[in-house]
Amino acid sequence: MSDGTKSGDTLSHRERIRSISRLVLDLITKNDERTPVVFCQLDVLTKTDEEVMWMESARWVKYEEDVEENGKRWSKPHVSSVTLHYLLELKTQMSTGAIILEADVRSMPELAELISEELAKIRTMTKNTKNSIRSTLLTRHEHEQKRKHRATKMKSNIITHCKIPKTISDTEFARIRAQHDDDLQNSDKQETSPLVKFNTPFMKKIPEGAEVANVWVGEMEDLKKPVTAFIRLIEPRFIGDLSQVALPTRFIFLHLTPKSEPSYAFEIGRAISNMMVDEIFSEVAYKAKSREDIMHGFDEFLDQLTVLPPGQWDPDVRLEPPTTVPSQERRNFFSTKSDLASEEKDHEQNEDTLVRTGRLFGGLINDVKRKIPFYKSDFKDGLHIQCIGSILFMYLATLAPNITFGAFLGQETHQHMGTMECLLAVAFVNLAFALFSGQPLIIMGSTGPVLVLEIIIYNMCSDNTWDFLSFRCMIGLWLALFLLIIVAFDLSALVRYITRFTEESFACLIAIIFIVESIKKIVSIADTHPDIPLDYTCYCVPNNQTEENITTMPNSYLNLTSTMNLITQWNSIKKEECADLGGVLEGSGCDTPIYHDNVFFLSIILGIGTFAIAWGLVIMRKSPFFPTLVRQTIGDFAVFISICLMVLFDARLGVPTPKLMVPDKIQPSDPKRPWFISPFSSGNPWWTMILASLPAVVAVILIFMDQQITAVIINRKENKLKKGCGYHLDLTVATICIVVCSFFGLPWYVAATVRSMSHVNSLKMESKCTAPGEKPVFLGCREQRLTPLIIAILNGCSVFMTKMLQLVPMPVLYGVFLYMGVSAFRGMQFKDRFLIMFMPAKYQPDRMYLRHVRINRVHLFTFFQILCLGILWAIKALKTISIVFPVMVLGTCFVRKGMERIFTMNELKWLDDQNIEDKMMKQEDAGELVVEDDDKDDDVVDEGPIEFLKQSKCRKINSTGNISWYLKHDTKSTGLSKDDILKDCPVEFLRNYRRQSTGNLYWHLNDNPTTHRRDRKIDFKIDEDSII
């Protein structure tokens, strides 16, 4: 009997908590208006030698800060630890104290009168005690910051600046109230205090629209029992100088006790203060209609508490605010539903761009309609200081690789296309893309596969003596035709099948290439500037003519030459003068460059220094040094600051390190070639116009994969982009640019992955208003068109800034490339999974996929990704086969499809769904997530559904999941529909139609899980008799 009683008590307690939770959340969700953030200030009644005052002792925006060193400074923000005893004592006091939820007061005398009258109603107290409480409430409030003036210097319209005697008679109090009312009527500034020096800097830490909860606690000798009052004003109002910040007061909590333990009153104040800054309880306090509502909110708060054993931690140790805070959405079911629905809506909005419309150019038309409403704001949003830092950084980050690319391309194509063509191409393509694309954050640039394709086309033309630029122009026209077909039939929608597996493999490969190439470039400086002296053996000797030449020369010239040979001291002639005197240079060191000390060593310092400074200034955003505004500004200009410092350092030392070389004239690299290229050339057979379609097919795959994978990476959900994307519009603009570049003999440019990612990273925004101790929240990226537009213009104007750009050492730019490559790994799940392979289980981070996928399966997935990455790297490194690189990137999509035979869909959902992490984390915190455990299959197969259900104790079935599966895979047809099964409930169905099944049966894993609000699923209990 006792067991049954205990079980019944437990169930009734759970039902009670469930009922209270429903009541609380029904209350706070009746009105969809968002409640303001609460700033809580705790004042303690303090007695000094001269007077009694309310002394500010602690404050809360989110975490607790205490006044230290006799009120001279604030403590570091820390997590409050409240003793359960004081919370229970607070509950007792609030259940019997005065609660006023619609107080209409405008001054401290009115408030003091209201509180004292209410306390007199619920407590038996003498008139003297009542007057004493009223007098105490009118005592002066002393804040941490200093005041500008004192009330004794001028007449005050705020009664709290007057010295109040210990008790006030009714007559005297009536006179004070009348005087105060007259002052309010004659004052134009009754809503704030001119005598108070508010804490203006601290206001930046409090969200806009916040309201104040003033908590007053203390001891009074006249009291025999504690008195408590909780007041909510009918509207937020400024009542004297109750707060240190210029915010209106909405709540007042008063707790006065007789002489007791020194910390009793203070701990009660800390308890209510922590509750007032709690998300759910503050909503209850705003929307409560009665005492019962307040107490229900109190019970809900207590139900969510976690109690720590007293012997396992020290409550005096201040806990650091956590890096990440668990979501409170599991306590607010309705807000969870709405937030998740909002996120689903945003996700579906992005997915709409990747759905075939069924009409010609339907996707392109939709992209244009989607982007037009944001076009004006795309320019207005770029008017921010952060964009200046992004422009300066990305200008140099795009200029250097374009110049390097152009120099190499000119060498391979015999100057048919060189550095000048590359500068014009990057300026034009990025200008057009910034103005008309669907995703202007993408930076267009040169890529390795495109360079390989250009070289292969040139070699083909050179071997067959064809006109290279004309044949290339025809390829460009075929390429544009194929890309327009892709746009017309909405084939860009195929990128929806590019999963995290493919895009992270591609992005990781490009990032590694940037890192490796930057290191190789710095190391290659040693070839021309080694760190040891070189061989300079070189002599100027007479140019001894052959006998054939001598016989054909006139005698007078021979006599002159002989005379010069006798006169000239050839060993003393400098190398620069040797050719002018008719000599030749001989020796092993004639081609050796001039040696300068420490060029290679300084180049290493410049490259590593640029990377280290840029990286250090970026991570400084999250450091505790300097104010937030300073940290954010330095972080925005981190790369530019590092470049400037290293350029000044190089100039100061005067060592001739390799410098950036920019053409100073706008003319073709080959003066013989025209600017406009015709696709028809007399040097090319007519059938080359048809043949050009074959290389165009390869180019289509290359352009499509490079462009769209980069777009997928930029548009991923983690970047929190709000203005939508435009895959079809992006490809259309790229197609038009290819046509123009083909006619003018300019290189084809596509989306540059790492440069685009760096551009997005440089425009990321974080919350400026954060509570003390709280980490800044990532808000998204500054979506605009100004930065890519100005970057394109600066690239085009580089030919006019030659003298300035030649001051920039190449090793500094190599350091920038190293930074871009390393920064591309931030937020990459593949990097985390790779590092987890070398971590013991106890040190592994808390990731959602680690919660739901076995670690050996995670490692196997990572191994496949490493294998694909290695194959892509090998193909990229071998120039003879590097042309198939885009095809192999496409092949990773098929590899990912084949992995479905090795991994279950549940495992792939967690490991490869780029939208699952945040969404599922919120669902799990909300108690919504139904975990699919593949191990349950074996249990069901071995024991059968009934036995499994029986051993699962009291578990609720997710009927819509497992029944749908059961009907689909049941080999012995029962003729039942899902509705038929639901009538009898799933348990009855399993009892009557027992089957051995290899599929998932989805069960809630917790015994008797708490039913959420609006959860209309049927609750049922299972006992052995009903099953058997």
Nearest-5° angle of CA 750, CA 758, CA 204?
A: 140
- 209-218, 226-235, 397-406: least confident range: 397-406
Give residue 16's pLDDT. Answer: 64
Structure tokens at 437: 């694309």
**Tokens 């005893």 appear where?**
85
Q: Residue 778: CA atoms inside 13 Å, Cβ hemisphere, count?
A: 15
| 3-class secondary structure, 508 | helix
Report yes or no: 845 and 917 within 8 Å, Cβ to Cβ.
Answer: no
The mean pLDDT of 39-51, rounded to a whole number, is: 85
Give the tens place of pLDDT for each residue, 617-658. 888 887 878 877 788 788 878 888 898 899 999 988 888 888
Name the band, by pLDDT with cuts 50, 70 and 90, for residue 149.
Answer: very low
Residue closest to 445 by CA, chosen among 168, 165, 758, 184: 758
Residue 159 one-letter amino acid: I
Q: 586 forms bridges with which residues in the sheet?
A: 539
DSSP codes of every residue in 390-404: HHHHHHHHHHHHHHH
**How far, in Å, CA of 791 to CA of 399, rounded?**
9
- Report which DSSP code applies to 305: -
Instruction: 151-160: list long-range contacts, CB under 8 Å, 24+ apart.
Output: 151/195, 154/195, 156/195, 157/183, 157/184, 157/187, 157/190, 158/108, 158/193, 158/195, 158/240, 158/241, 159/107, 159/108, 159/109, 159/240, 160/108, 160/240, 160/241, 160/242
pLDDT at residue 910 above 70? yes
**C-beta of residue 420 within 8 angstroms of C-beta of residue 377:** no
Distance of alpha carbon 338 from the chain centroid: 22
Residues 115-139 have pLDDT tens digits of: 888 888 887 677 888 888 888 888 8
Instruction: Write the pLDDT tens digit of every residue in 334-387.
Output: 444 444 444 445 545 555 677 788 888 888 999 999 999 999 999 999 998 889
Q: What is the pLDDT of residue 192?
A: 41
Q: Cα–Cα distance between 217 and 214 in angstroms, integer?
A: 10
Place of tokens 């190293």: 818
* Cα–Cα dist 354/493, whole Å: 4
CA proximity to 831, closest of 515, 617, 447, 463: 515
- CA-nearest of 161, 158, 111, 121 to 139 is 161
Cβ-based neighbour number of residue 384 at 10 Å: 17
Q: Which of 235-239, 275-279, 531-535, 930-934 has the lowest mean pLDDT?
A: 930-934
In whole angstroms, give the CA distance from residue 433 to residue 507.
Answer: 21
Residues 6 or more apart from 184 whose CB is under 8 A from it? Answer: 106, 107, 157, 190
Interatomic CA distance for residues 361 and 729, integer angstroms: 10
If you count them, how many residues does the chain have? 1028
Q: What is the mean pLDDT of the chain?
A: 75
CA 425 – CA 675 distance, rounded (Å): 13
- Bridge partners of 765? 780
User: Please, what are the domains in the chain?
Assistant: 28-306 (3.40.930.10), 353-523+613-798+810-824 (no CATH), 539-586 (no CATH), 930-1027 (no CATH)
pLDDT value of position 1027: 34
Among the listed residues 778, 734, 775, 774, the one whose alpha carbon sits nearest the alpha carbon of residue 752: 734
- Dump pLDDT digits (tens) for 546-588: 344 434 444 444 444 444 444 456 666 766 667 667 777 777 6
Q: Are 526 and 599 in contact (CB under 8 A)?
A: no
| Confidence label for 894 from pLDDT (cuts 50, 70 and 90) | confident
